[in-house]
A and B are shown apart, each in its own frame.
Chain A
Amino acid sequence: MDKPRVVITGLGVCAPNGVGLADFTEAMQEGKSGIRFSPQLKELEFSCQIAGEPLLKDNLLEHYFTPLQLRGLNSSGLVYGVVAGRDAWNDAGLPLAAKEEPDWDSGIVFGTGILGADKFRESIYKIDDKNVRRLGSGAVMQVMASGISAYLGGMLGCGNQVTTNSAACTTGTEGILMAYDRIIAGKAQRMLVGSCSDSGPYLWAGFDSMRILPNKYNDNPTEASRPMSASAAGFVPGSGAGALVIESLESAVTRGAKIYAEVLGGAVNSGGQRGEGSMTAPNSAAVIRCIRSAVRNSGIAPSEVDAINGHLTATGKDALEIENWSKALQLTGTDFPYVNSFKGLFGHCLAAAGSIESVASVLQVHKGQIFGNVNCSDVHPNILKKVHPSKIPQVTIVHRSKILAKASFGFGDVNACVIFGAFND
Chain B
Amino acid sequence: MKEERYQILKTIIKNYLPEDVSIDAVSQESNFVSELNINSANLVDIVLDVEDEFDIRLENEDMEEMLTVNDALAIIDKKLSA
- Chain A residues within 8 Å of B, Cβ to Cβ: 66-68, 71-72, 134, 136-138
Contact = CB atoms under 8 A, between A and B. Distances in A.
11 contacts: A66-B19, A67-B15, A68-B15, A68-B17, A71-B15, A72-B45, A134-B48, A136-B44, A136-B45, A137-B42, A137-B44
Nearest to A66: B19
Contacts of B1: none
B15 A136 contact: no
Contacts of B15: 67-68, 71
Contacts, number: 18
Nearest to B17: A68
B36 to A, nearest CB: 13
B82 to A, nearest CB: 19
Contact of A68 (B16, B44, B48): B16
B52 to A, nearest CB: 9
Interface residues of B toward A: which range?
under 10
B41 interface: yes
A225 B44 CA distance: 46
B17 to A, nearest CB: 8
A68 B41 CA distance: 12
Nearest to A72: B45
Contact of B48 (A66, A67, A136): A136
Contacts of A67: 15
The 3 A-B pairs with the shortest beta carbon distances in the complex, nearest first, are A137-B41, A136-B45, A137-B45
Among A67, A68, A136, max chain B CB count under 10 A is at A68
Nearest to A139: B44
Contacts of B41: 137
Nearest to B52: A134
Interface string B5-17: 0000000000111
Contacts of B44: 136-137
Given A68-B15, A136-B45, A138-B45, 15 more contacts: A66-B19, A67-B15, A68-B16, A68-B17, A68-B42, A71-B15, A71-B45, A72-B45, A134-B48, A136-B44, A136-B48, A137-B41, A137-B42, A137-B44, A137-B45
A82 to B, nearest CB: 16
A143 to B, nearest CB: 14
B10 to A, nearest CB: 15
B64 to A, nearest CB: 14
Interface in B35-70: 41-42, 44-45, 48
Nearest to A138: B45
A21 to B, nearest CB: 27
A140 B2 CA distance: 35
A74 to B, nearest CB: 14
B11 to A, nearest CB: 13
A26 B71 CA distance: 57
A66 B45 CA distance: 16
A68 B42 CA distance: 10
A67 B45 CA distance: 14
A48 B41 CA distance: 40
A127 to B, nearest CB: 15
A136 B15 CA distance: 14
A134 B63 CA distance: 13
